[in-house]
Structure 1
Amino acid sequence: MKRTKQLIALLLATVLVLGLAACGGGSAGSPSPSASGTGGEAAPVVYRELYVMEATTLNYLVTSQTTEFELSANFIDTLVQYDQYGVAQHGLATDWSVSDDGLTWTFTLRDGVKWYKSDGTEYADLKAQDFVDSMHYICDPAHDSKTFDIVSSAVKNAQKFYSGEITDPNEIGVRAVDEKTLEYTLEAPTPYFLSMLSYVCFMPVNGDFLAEVGDRFGTSADTILYNGAYICQEFNPQENQVWVKNANYWNADNVNIDRIERTYNAEALKLAPDMYKQGSVDQAKIPSELLQAWLDDASTADLVRPTRASYFTYWWLFNFDPQFDAAYEPDNWKLAVNNEAFRLSIARGIDRAKAEFPYEPNNPNANLINTITPEGFCDYSGTDYTQMGDLAAVSNTNPFNAEEALQYKAQAIQELTAAGATFPIKVLMPYNPGTTYWGESCQILEQQLEGLLGTDYIDIIVEAGPSTNFLAEVRKTGKYALMLCNWGPDYADPETYSDPWSLGYTYSWPEKTTQADLLTGYTYTAEDMSKGVFDEDKFIGTPETVYIKMVQEGKDEKLDIEKRYTSFANAEAFLINHAIVIPFHRQASDGYVVSKLSVFDRPFAPFGVANYRYEGAHLLDAPISMDEYYAQMAEWETAREAALAASASK
């Protein structure tokens, strides 16, 4: 209790200054002093890890992949940052204001921030024009930015420029008032706009450098510039990465790790635990098949801890536009997936606690969720979003119901037989072998679901896909029938969780359904494209889904937050009730690990890329134990509640 009281006593200072020391260092180890923070007297603090998921680009202006967010979050700063409690802090902006009508946001940039090349040499000063150049780049359809939709949802004329309705980029709602003053103009009042600014699409870029490297931008460590906590000294795909502390970073005193060495290994999940024991790496994921042995061994029991649950949520999706090989019978799958009783037999039949076991064998119910948007993400006047509208009933109901699953099976057999389907229905379920526990979970699901519904009804085919470019080669090309997918929030509003089922997103293509009650009966026209409903002419003639219409009602409501949230909640409930999506879990980021990295002193936010930042983290002499982790988490939760309350009262 004493430590908690000390934390709360320090809170007012903490929420005003980014990067103060973490709560609860833990008795297992103390932080190693950074050489660059102690006049060079101490040895450099080096963090070493293996990785298996490779980044395919360093171009932060186009990517929407989490493997690339981790890099950009540490190389490029944002206007607004978040401290370890999730409270907004000054980043590249030291001040901001919003006009009375909520349409114009003005930011004052921090003095002395510069751009650096990969060799550490200075390139230029950071200027307001860098944010303008970034916005112009993202709004150019030639660059195919995967985060343009976030920009266009808020920034004035972004969609009009993208679609060609206007041709002057200076009409886009961003301008440099002077070198240190940046102004955004919005299409409509957007109360959560500040939270959007910690995402990659609002990061700056130096226009001169962009012109200099052209299409090579982001293809190597020396074709981007750096203004963040780290500079990428080496970037050798499927070999290694080396990040070094940016000694000239404006908040360098809060960067405690001098060098990060990442080594690629396709067998990282298998090799890392032994490499940790050998002293070759400072962190290793502990696979579920090894976890109990580590916990039973006195020499390792106090080294293992869980990782924090993220706001990335995971759910199984049915693919309405199968593009897989004929051997998996895509035409038969189309009949099955467009039968709601079939989908519901799967949704009610999955015992999620069993599928969760590889991820969390000690408490498999801990991270299960019944919704797409996780509890605690946002609320209205104290009512959690998941308890609003039709979503409340969904949130409070366990979807697993064996009796109902068998009833839906019987109904589906009757309806699908009449439609010409053959049994068993082949269900192609691929997974990424580079993702911890995914394959094991798929195998458990296969056994459990086939055991309940019968192999005469379904034939679940679990297959390993590529560990690199899995999304591009499997999900985005529609080469699956049922697959675990995920989404993380980009800003602090439930709209952010609606994107995967919108036009243009390569998730499950629900607009391809032939199930009439999932469609409104309206077909998109060229006029809709001119209005910015979509930005590719291939969607002309596409039927409108009921879900998209429901979501649009939420998007159109800008000021009545209760009505807005309720509209999104009803749309989300529609997806789940019709078994278009099957919620699974809010996964701990890396399951169980042995790690010398501190946990609760790093930036934190449910949205954006703050959670990927190493700024503020310490490298401990030894890992913290399970008990120490939960004690520190309890302290952090208490301190965070107070920090958020203090911030809200300002």
Structure 2
Amino acid sequence: MRFITRTLIVVLLLSILLTGCGKSDKKMSTTNANSNVKQVLHLSLPNDPPMLDPQRATDMTSFEILNAVFEGLVRIDKDGKVEKGSGLAKDWTISPDKLTYTFHLKDNIKWSDGNPITAQDFEYSWKRALDPKTASEYAYILYPIKNAEKYNSGKASADDVGIKALDSKTLQVTLEKPTPYFLGLTSFITYLPVEKSFVEKVGDKLASSPDNMVFSGPFKLKEWNHEQNLTLVKNENYWDKNNVKLSEIDLDIVKDLNTLAQNYDTGKYDTISVTGDYIDKYKGQVKYAPNGEVYFIALNNTSPIFKNANIRRAFSLAINRKELADNVLKDGSSPAYGIVPNGIPGEKDEYRKEVGDLFSEDTNKAKELLNEGMKELNITKLPKITLLASDSDSGKKLAQALQEFWKKNLGVDVEIQSMAFKVRLQRLKSKQYDMAIDDWIADYNDPMTFLDMWVTNGGNNDSGFSDPEYDKLINDAESTPDAKLRMDDMKKAEKIFIDAMSVAPIYFSSTAYVQKDYVKGYVRHPVGVSDEWKWVYIEK
């Protein structure tokens, strides 16, 4: 996710999505929350959430809010696992051929408006995501379901899709092929339910304000002042409300790192992410949480300049990634020489360890490639080149570091255009850019979440990359039941993608953070929605 993924696969990889490694205060019961202490968590967000409609959201900022105010059939637990009863489904059965899942909803589960949550709500929501009219960029995350892709592409009707409410408490789902991690997928944001009757009532106003939302999760959105702050409050109609100790979560939208640090020091914020020089400031207090995330420079393959592969390679090879990680980021991030990050499983070990680095930096080679590319384009001078970047403090520093590399190692002046997250996404989608700092965090714990997005005309393929051989390898990997063949196809596909340098990977991220000692139960997942607030409590 964009922080964003694409179609699913058919092999024995992991039986559960988002496995293992969730960072949490384990075994600390929420009953330890001191009843005399105000149970309010004070946080910040780097951006205003662009979209709080579960079927249309695509970014991590929105995902974190949606994960707090909605819940699906399952909820990933503190240890990153899927267990029966963890979400709105009390249990389920799976047919012997692994194609039919029958989910049984809990009794007496309610929306925040008091209406019952039904299997019909789930059927409506999932088909809504697939409806071409919804234009959900994440529709493909439901493609394991029978005829889902055909309906989304206009080749089948909604009735043909393998999603059916048998009664108000029973949802039957039929898959195209066995998908061992399907249960975990049902926790993904696009799979979250919306209340059918409410959506039909508010129409296009859905998720535009707290009044135009109804919630199924631990919290409700009480206040949303765009570009300023959001307030979440406990949802008293939530089925597991007794294990939710926070009464409120206050989230300010803050882009300036100095402001964040000052407010953390004065106690206004209970935890903040830190980077760069702030790592040194909080030396001895900083903790690190690994992310299944890659940062890269999107290179517009359809632009007059970056349609040339040698110029794309030149800009990539001119970046000193180790210097960037060690001297600019300073947050535990590591240089990226592939698109699939560290920690993602491969055939027998980590995928990245099995494949290794797919390129290396070379400033002399970068200059040669730039000259060669310019000759191929029959130009003697580059036009003005711009880099889209975040308007946050850390985003500006990253952009400035890249700008310096290109000036020093290529002799090219690049203009930085810092802008709000939502505007940058729109520019990426419409391909109105030369270069843009972008990122992708794993939607599920498999290399495919970083590879299938680059197929021709893929919903999140904002670089415009297209290669028939790549498309075939991805399709083959998604179709074969042979785990080794599948992994081999993905490795070949990644090499094609990197050789073309459709995007320039720059680093695999890690989150460095500081957190007050009185904050307990805060879970940080390494894959998927990172910050889980359901089990947080304040103990002073």
Separation of aligned partners in 2, 1:362 and 1:141: 41
Q: Could you say which residue in structure 2 is the equivalent of 1:76?
A: 70
Does residue 1:510 correspond to 2:510, yes or no?
Answer: no
Please point out which of 463, 467, 480 is paired with 2:417.
Answer: 463
SS at match of 2:298: strand
Does residue 1:575 correspond to 2:535, yes or no?
Answer: no
Structure 1: runs of 5 or more not aligned = 1-18, 36-40, 296-300, 323-330, 512-518, 520-544, 622-650
Does residue 1:339 correspond to 2:308, yes or no?
Answer: yes
Q: Could you say which residue in structure 2 is the equivalent of 1:97?
A: 93
Please point out which of 304, 320, 323 is paired with 1:351.
Answer: 320
Q: What is the CA distance between 1:222 and its match in structure 2? A: 2.0
Residues 1:258 and 1:415: Cα distance change in structure 2 (over 3 Å): closer
Separation of aligned partners in 1, 2:365 and 2:524: 48
Q: Could you say which residue in structure 2 is the equivalent of 1:384?
A: 350
Contact kept in structure 2, 1:78 and 1:197, CA below 8 Å: yes
Q: What is the CA distance between 1:200 and its match in structure 2? A: 1.4
Structure 2: runs of 5 or more not aligned = 1-21
The equivalences for 1:429-444 within 5 A come to 429-434=387-392, 436-444=393-401
Residues 1:184 and 1:31: Cα distance change in structure 2 (over 3 Å): closer
Contact kept in structure 2, 1:86 and 1:603, CA below 8 Å: no
Q: Could you say which residue in structure 2 is the equivalent of 1:269?
A: 257
TM-score norm. by structure 2 comes to 0.87
SS at match of 1:469: helix
Separation of aligned partners in 2, 1:233 and 1:448: 45
Contact kept in structure 2, 1:57 and 1:218, CA below 8 Å: yes
Q: What is the CA distance between 1:461 and its match in structure 2? A: 2.3
Does residue 1:313 correspond to 2:307, yes or no?
Answer: no
Tell me which amino acid in the other structure corresponds to 1:135. W
Tell me which amino acid in the other structure corresponds to 2:294. T
Does residue 1:613 correspond to 2:506, yes or no?
Answer: no
Residues 1:368 and 1:32: Cα distance change in structure 2 (over 3 Å): farther
Separation of aligned partners in 2, 1:620 and 1:217: 37
Does residue 1:129 correspond to 2:120, yes or no?
Answer: yes
Tell me which amino acid in the other structure corresponds to 1:461. E
Separation of aligned partners in 1, 2:309 and 2:23: 53
Please point out which of 163, 167, 192 is paired with 2:153.
Answer: 163
Separation of aligned partners in 1, 2:103 and 2:350: 31
Deviation per residue, 1:159-203 (Å, 9 max, x gap): 333333333x23211111222221111122222212211111211
SS at match of 2:83: strand
SS at match of 2:286: strand
Does residue 1:278 correspond to 2:250, yes or no?
Answer: no
Separation of aligned partners in 2, 1:554 and 1:320: 25
Please point out which of 416, 419, 422 is paired with 2:380.
Answer: 422
SS at match of 1:81: coil
Q: Could you say which residue in structure 2 is the equivalent of 1:547?
A: 470
Q: Could you say which residue in structure 1 is the equivalent of 2:434?
A: 481
Separation of aligned partners in 1, 2:288 and 2:167: 44
Separation of aligned partners in 1, 2:462 and 2:195: 33
Tell me which amino acid in the other structure corresponds to 1:134. S
SS at match of 2:302: coil
Deviation per residue, 1:351-406 (Å, 9 max, x gap): 1022224654376xx533332222322233x3333355xxx1xx246x4433xx41
Q: Could you say which residue in structure 2 is the equivalent of 1:114?
A: 110
SS at match of 1:483: strand
The equivalences for 1:296-307 within 5 A come to 301-302=283-284, 304-307=285-288
SS at match of 2:538: coil
Residues 1:596 and 1:471: Cα distance change in structure 2 (over 3 Å): farther
Separation of aligned partners in 2, 1:318 and 1:597: 44
RMSD: 2.9
Residues 1:217 and 1:401: Cα distance change in structure 2 (over 3 Å): closer
Q: Could you say which residue in structure 1 is the equivalent of 2:56?
A: 62
The equivalences for 1:170-209 within 5 A come to 170-209=159-198
Identity %: 24
SS at match of 1:567: helix
Contact kept in structure 1, 2:296 and 2:437, CA below 8 Å: yes
Residues 1:277 and 1:385: Cα distance change in structure 2 (over 3 Å): closer
Q: What is the CA distance between 1:236 and its match in structure 2? A: 2.3
Separation of aligned partners in 2, 1:253 and 1:20: 22
Q: Could you say which residue in structure 1 is the equivalent of 2:220?
A: 231
Whichever structure has more helix as a proportion of its residues is 1
Separation of aligned partners in 2, 1:276 and 1:603: 19
Q: What is the CA distance between 1:460 and its match in structure 2? A: 2.4
Contact kept in structure 2, 1:130 and 1:205, CA below 8 Å: yes
Q: Could you say which residue in structure 2 is the equivalent of 1:528?
A: none
Does residue 1:602 correspond to 2:512, yes or no?
Answer: no
SS at match of 1:60: coil
Deviation per residue, 1:414-472 (Å, 9 max, x gap): 453254122346432121112x522212222222333223x1xx3222232x2242333
SS at match of 1:142: helix
SS at match of 1:114: coil
Separation of aligned partners in 2, 1:114 and 1:386: 44
Please point out which of 566, 569, 572 is paired with 2:488.
Answer: 566
Q: Could you say which residue in structure 2 is the equivalent of 1:23?
A: 26
Separation of aligned partners in 2, 1:137 and 1:362: 40
**Bigger mean CA offset, 441-450 vs 563-572:** 441-450
Residues 1:84 and 1:476: Cα distance change in structure 2 (over 3 Å): same
Q: Could you say which residue in structure 2 is the equivalent of 1:638?
A: none
SS at match of 1:231: strand
Tell me which amino acid in the other structure corresponds to 1:164. G
Contact kept in structure 2, 1:285 and 1:592, CA below 8 Å: yes
TM-score norm. by structure 1 comes to 0.73
Contact kept in structure 1, 2:23 and 2:525, CA below 8 Å: no
Separation of aligned partners in 2, 1:349 and 1:125: 58
Contact kept in structure 1, 2:452 and 2:474, CA below 8 Å: no
Q: What is the CA distance between 1:555 and its match in structure 2? A: 1.7
SS at match of 1:439: helix
Residues 1:209 and 1:358: Cα distance change in structure 2 (over 3 Å): farther
Contact kept in structure 2, 1:288 and 1:361, CA below 8 Å: yes
Q: What is the CA distance between 1:141 and its match in structure 2? A: 1.6
Q: What is the CA distance between 1:490 and its match in structure 2? A: 2.2
Tell me which amino acid in the other structure corresponds to 1:165. K
Contact kept in structure 1, 2:272 and 2:514, CA below 8 Å: yes
Tell me which amino acid in the other structure corresponds to 2:216. N
SS at match of 1:550: helix
Separation of aligned partners in 2, 1:474 and 1:115: 36
Contact kept in structure 2, 1:359 and 1:437, CA below 8 Å: no
